[in-house]
Structure 1
Amino acid sequence: MIKSARIVSTGSYLPGEPLTNETLESILGPLSPELLEQVQVERRHWLVNPITGEYHETNSDMAAKAAKQALELANIDPNDVDLLVLSTASPDYPLPPMVTLVQEKLGLRRCATLEVRSGCCGTVEALDVARLYLERGIYQTAIVIGSEAISPLLAPQFLGKDPSSLRARDRLNIYSFGDGAAAMVLTATEDEPGFVGSAMACVGGNKKPGMIIPGGGTNALLTTLDQKKACLMELKVDFTNSGKFTPHVLNEALVDVLKRSSTTAESIDLCFLPEGNAGYLRSEIEHSHLQTSEWVVLGDKIFENLSLVSNTGSAAVPLALDYAWKTGKLKSGDRIMLLAIETSKWLYAGIVLDWSAEPCAANNWN
């Protein structure tokens, strides 16, 4: 018997105290008003101390803390979890998979695990995989986690350096990203609304990556080059091409998700477009002459919390969802769309689902 999968709770974790733009300016130097407006970030959280370079915790620590909070809010014992799916682009190690480290920190001796190595799209893909397992009746309770530790890739760019030596594009990168984790608890049911439809694709098969973390892999050329540098891993972002091509990816994503979900923009109550897409990218869509009637309908329904957390890769979608649920903006009965795009190789992933979780008892956020 085909079951339905539903999200019953979410949880989140942000490391340390928030770093404001003013704090970063005192450490890195200022970002021009034009670039600061493009970034759209007011604060971010790092697990790396920006002054000393000391690590507070690890990516798997953050992921486990977010998962534990989600389980507590769902009133579910960790031992009831039989599927754990995690997405990250910044794992603790290449091996073992970070999801297995999170399993250990949750105290689970045995559990089905799966890790998606991706950025912004990864958690939506992970959520889609988890719900399919639950709908088929193979597993009963799942946790889906998106977690990123990006500050370790940023800190070497400025630690011990004269702020005046930093290029504007380096500052733009550092101001844009943060760390964090968020989790979703899913259960299989036979009488609750659940997932309506989904879509995912890579549409950059003939394009250069818009984002890359070149160190730490097995590519011989990159490994040779990285060994000559003090920093073995870093984050490189092509902001110029991202601005040009991302609106096209986002538009293709919206059309595909609505079609595969057999639904319309009018039926959507909240559309989660994390990482600033709600402002900057909608403007780019209009400038690219891609503004469709669907985007007009969704205009006031788009939700994100970029200014509070910054760009957080895999954590972006679940952090926005967690924020909406805990602050009462997301209500039982709402039909929502999770729509994520990723410039690494120009991916998108989207899901439409009917939200049925009860209001969050915590009624607050971080």
Structure 2
Amino acid sequence: MLRSVITGTGSALPARRVSNEELAQTIDTSDEWIVERTGIRFRHIAGPGETTSTLAAEACRAAIAAAGVTAQDVDLIVLATATPDQTFPATATKVQAMLGIDDCVAFDVAAVCSGFLYAVQVADAMLRTGVHRRALVIGAETFSRILDWEDRTTAVLFGDGAGAIVLEAQESEDAGGRGILATRLHADGRHNELLYVDGGPSTTGTVGKLRMKGREVFRHAVVNLAAVMGESLAIAGLTAEDVDWVVPHQANARILDATARKLGFAPEKVVVTVDRHANTSAASVPLALDVAVQDGRIRQGDLVVLEAMGGGFTWGAAVVRF
């Protein structure tokens, strides 16, 4: 059978790192207030010349180098983002040009914080057809540019960044061998008003700002994420005891803790980067994955569960033998 195998990871962060103390100079908040409610201590904010596409391209270069291939070996780019450089063309095509790839399939996926999981399933399906050989799957965001900096309940939560993986179609006869073993996605549009941006080309003609009802989102997140991780493990014929690492969407430390407890995952198995990166939306899962690969925690052969939930609501999970 053909299976999609992660052969390289990469990430990128804007140069400017902003502490809670720095935010407190312009927003009615404090380091204690933010840490107690979210676990966040720092976030990176894009500066002049840093965009979703530039961060994505930097992450891709790192992933390509880690995979030991060249940009010309890539024939598919799927980029998850809620903050594209332009309404069109797709930011994926800008990344393609930055990488010097003359021709490949390149498009964006919009599922907010779950976007990377959606992009992984799309790329996995396309690779397993045999039509494509090697994909760049990216999550990249500049959420700082859609925040209302006068709303302390949302402005302190988000940051900018990008993460990418090289996903390669490989022959496998081992049902539990390396590659994506199972994915599961969901969406429920009835909850639009709980987490959304109040603008768009066909409604207001403006970009708009992020709006969120945090308490309701928290409640849905814990229930949905625990359920979808259980579903994806069941599809793969595995249990929580088989999992070496959980790489969750980095939205809020309390969500991470509550979800892990609900499924019985030991805290030391959960990769946490929300303290240093805040919520980078579609970038958070691949960013956290790359951190854990780079520091040696996640190694080849480990069983890893990726999960995320975002506006829409959308949510999903993937079980991967790294």
Q: Same fold (TM over 0.5)?
A: yes
What does residue 280 of structure 1 align with?
A: 254
- Bigger proportion of residues as strand: 2
Confirm or deny: 8 A CA contact 1:127 1:144 kept in the other structure. Answer: yes
User: Would the aligned equivalents of 1:196 and 1:261 in 2 still touch at CA under 8 Å?
Assistant: yes
Following TM superposition, by how much is the alpha carbon of 1:206 offset from its aligned partner in structure 2, in angstroms? 3.2
Larger of the two Rg values belongs to structure: 1
> Structure 1 residues 45, 199: closer, same or farther in 2, change over 3 A?
same
* 1:64 correspondence with 2:49: no
1:106 pairs with 93, 99, 103, which one?
Answer: 99
User: Which of 211, 214, 225 is equivalent to 2:195?
Assistant: 211
Deviation string, structure 1 residues 38-69 (Cα, Å, up to 9, x no partner): 12111111113xxxxxx232111111111111
- The answer to whether residue 43 in structure 2 is matched with residue 44 in structure 1 is yes
Partner of residue 199, structure 1:
184
Q: 1:248 aligns with which of 194, 198, 223?
A: 223
- Equivalent positions of 1:1-12 (< 5 A) are 2-12=1-11
Letter in 2 for 1:207: H
Equivalent position of 1:271 in the other structure: 246
Match of 2:136 in 1: 143
| 1:197 and 1:262 in contact (8 A); partners too | no
Aligned pairs (5 A) from 1:1-366: 2-31=1-30, 33-48=32-47, 55-154=48-147, 157-158=148-149, 166=150, 170-191=151-172, 193-202=178-187, 204-219=188-203, 222-223=204-205, 232-276=207-251, 279-282=253-256, 284=258, 292=262, 295-342=263-310, 344-355=311-322
Contact 1:276-1:304 at 8 Å conserved across structures = no
Deviation at 1:24, TM superposition (A): 1.5
Shift of 1:251: 2.5
Task: Count the aligned residue pairs.
Answer: 318
Give, in angstroms, the shift of residue 285 of structure 1. 5.6
TM-score (structure 1 length as normaliser): 0.81
Q: TM-score scaled by structure 2?
A: 0.92
CA-CA distance at 1:31 after TM superposition: 3.1
1:105-134 C-alpha deviation (Å, 9 max, x unpaired): 111121012310121111111112112222
For 1:38, give the aligned amino acid. R
Distance 1:282 1:128 in 2: 23
Change over 3 Å in CA distance of 1:284–1:5 after alignment to 2: closer
Amino acid at match of 1:217: P
Post-superposition CA distance 1:65-118 (Å, at most 9, x none): 111111122221111110111100000111111111111111112101231012
Q: Deviations over 1:169-215 (max 9, x none)?
A: x123111110000110111222462111110111x343343211222
Native 8 Å contact 1:336 1:352 kept in 2: yes
Partners of 1:109 and 1:209 lie apart in 2 by 41
Aligned mates of 2:275, 2:216 — CA distance in 1 = 23
CA RMSD of aligned residues (A): 2.0
Structure 1, unpaired ranges of 5+: 49-54, 159-165, 227-231, 356-366
The residue identity in structure 2 corresponding to 1:321 is: L
Residue 52 of structure 1: aligned partner: none
**Residues 85 and 282 of structure 1: is their aligned pair in 2 closer, same or farther, counting only changes over 3 Å?**
closer
Is the Cα contact below 8 Å between 2:2 and 2:169 reproduced in 1?
yes
Shift of 1:283: 5.2
Q: Which amino acid aligns with 1:272?
A: V
Look up the match of 1:361: none
The answer to whether the Cα contact below 8 Å between 2:257 and 2:267 also exists between their aligned partners in 1 is no
CA distance in 2, matches of 1:218, 1:112: 27
Residue aligned with 1:206, SS: helix
Q: Offset at 1:298? A: 4.6
CA distance in 1 between partners of 2:145 and 2:256 (Å)? 31
Q: Distance in 2 between matches of 1:19 and 1:285?
A: 28
Match of 2:80, as an amino acid?
Answer: S
State the AA in 2 paired with 1:216: G
